[in-house]
Structure 1
Amino acid sequence: MTTVGVLALQGDVREHEVMLSGLGVEVVRVRRLSELDAVDGLVIPGGESTTMDKLLRAFDLRDPLIARIGDGLPVLGSCAGMVLLARDLRDGIEGQLTLDAIPMTVRRNAFGRQVDSAEVDLVWEIDGSPMHATFIRAPWVESCDEGVEVLATATGPDGERHPVAVRHGSAIATAFHPEISSDTRVHELLLAQL
């Protein structure tokens, strides 16, 4: 059976577990290297990116995770997970590190503070269908290299459209929280790469 891990250092772990279990895969929480080594794919949940970065280093998971992603481990990062998967970061705290998995620059908390959280209707570019998305202190993609596929965009508080879902190789990142909706397309996209 396919096993998908959810990085369980901090954030909305349970919601991703429920979504993935409903899609028929075995789900394990990843907090140790042995757990990371045993998964076929990984979700990095939303939460607080600076805390996750610190805990990845404290648990000695950062370098092994970078290596697994570099070897093609399918990975999905939502919200804080998008921040962690970026190559470059804007508005991070001093010393904050990313996993450099997707050649993109992400602006942390780009959509504003907690009170600016919103539900937005997007177009899922893969098939042109509508998608309802929830943004909570969400990032956006400021720029990305050629070869990064933009899956959805949204209008930010600056009035400009910004990528909010992207794919590069076996890495997927969303600025929104697909795990708190009934729409399984983002998770299915991850599972299709296993």
Structure 2
Amino acid sequence: MQNTTVGVFALQGDVREHLAALDAVGVKTLTVRRPEELARCDGLVIPGGESTTMGKLARIFELLEPLRERIAGGMPTFGTCAGMIMLADRVLDGTADQETIGGLDITVRRNAFGRQVDSFEAPLEFRGLDDPVPAVFIRAPWVEAVGADVEVLARVEGGEAHGRIVAVRQGTLMATSFHPEVGGDARVHRLFVDLVRSA
């Protein structure tokens, strides 16, 4: 099964952790900074980081339009935290010049959980997995609204954010508000890799 190649958007963000998680589930990985690297991928992970910076760098490196084309063409893509924002069709509390790749029919709110000091970890029930996922939230977004074709995979349980949507899937696109690459539990990555292989 090593012939599946999953790229990690590597212009900004926590790239190494995703490469390690993907390696743990047995796929070939590739860092993606240029269109020719993107062309070699069967699927793509867009990591956490700073979504406005990611958008600007993707445009500078002439990667934004190729990303939009591949995603519109059905390439399986998994966005975490800032990656979720990059895949969202609509962003609340973004900057005036914020650009996203789009493709996911969701409305996200940037930094919805607060600042870095408000970061937290919580076990999450995740559709398709038997046991809760240890979810790490760092300046995370949440999903305010989903389109008719979007499946909700996880919601926050308890606290002020109870019921907020933090994981979604639409066709070949998947996104989480939290960082599944942190903490050594690769089950969410395995779900994504299954999606890549079935596509």
TM normalised by structure 1 equals: 0.96
> Which residue of the partner structure matches residue 19 of structure 1?
21
Q: Deviations over 1:27-85 (max 9, x none)?
A: 11000110000001000000000100000111111111011001110100000000000
1:113, 1:26 → 2: CA distance?
35
Do the aligned partners of residues 46 and 159 (structure 1) sit closer, same or farther apart at CA in structure 2, a change above 3 Å counting?
A: closer
2:181, 2:129 → 1: CA distance?
20
Q: Deviations over 1:147-186 (max 9, x none)?
A: 1011100158744421100000100000000001222121
Q: Does 1:114 align with 2:82?
A: no
- RMSD over aligned CA atoms reads 1.3
Q: Does 1:100 align with 2:95?
A: no
> Which residue of the partner structure matches residue 175 of structure 1?
177
Do the aligned partners of residues 147 and 159 (structure 1) sit closer, same or farther apart at CA in structure 2, a change above 3 Å counting?
A: same
2:72, 2:142 → 1: CA distance?
23
Following TM superposition, by how much is the alpha carbon of 1:125 offset from its aligned partner in structure 2, in angstroms? Answer: 2.2
Following TM superposition, by how much is the alpha carbon of 1:98 offset from its aligned partner in structure 2, in angstroms? Answer: 1.3
Q: Say which is worse superposed, 42-51 or 95-104, in terms of deviation.
A: 95-104
Which blocks of at least 5 consecutive residues in structure 2 are unaligned? none
Mapped contact 1:111–1:156 kept (Cα < 8 A):
no
**May I ask how many residue pairs the two structures share in their alignment?**
194
Do the aligned partners of residues 156 and 91 (structure 1) sit closer, same or farther apart at CA in structure 2, a change above 3 Å counting?
A: farther
Do the aligned partners of residues 97 and 156 (structure 1) sit closer, same or farther apart at CA in structure 2, a change above 3 Å counting?
A: farther
> Which residue of the partner structure matches residue 12 of structure 2?
10
Following TM superposition, by how much is the alpha carbon of 1:113 offset from its aligned partner in structure 2, in angstroms? Answer: 0.1
Q: Equivalent residue of 1:161, what SS?
A: coil
Q: Percent identity?
A: 54
Q: 1:1-194 residue pairs with structure 2 within 5 A? A: 1-127=3-129, 129-154=131-156, 158-194=160-196
Do the aligned partners of residues 3 and 172 (structure 1) sit closer, same or farther apart at CA in structure 2, a change above 3 Å counting?
A: same
Following TM superposition, by how much is the alpha carbon of 1:22 offset from its aligned partner in structure 2, in angstroms? Answer: 1.4
Q: Say which is worse superposed, 160-169 or 137-146, in terms of deviation.
A: 160-169
Which blocks of at least 5 consecutive residues in structure 1 are unaligned? none
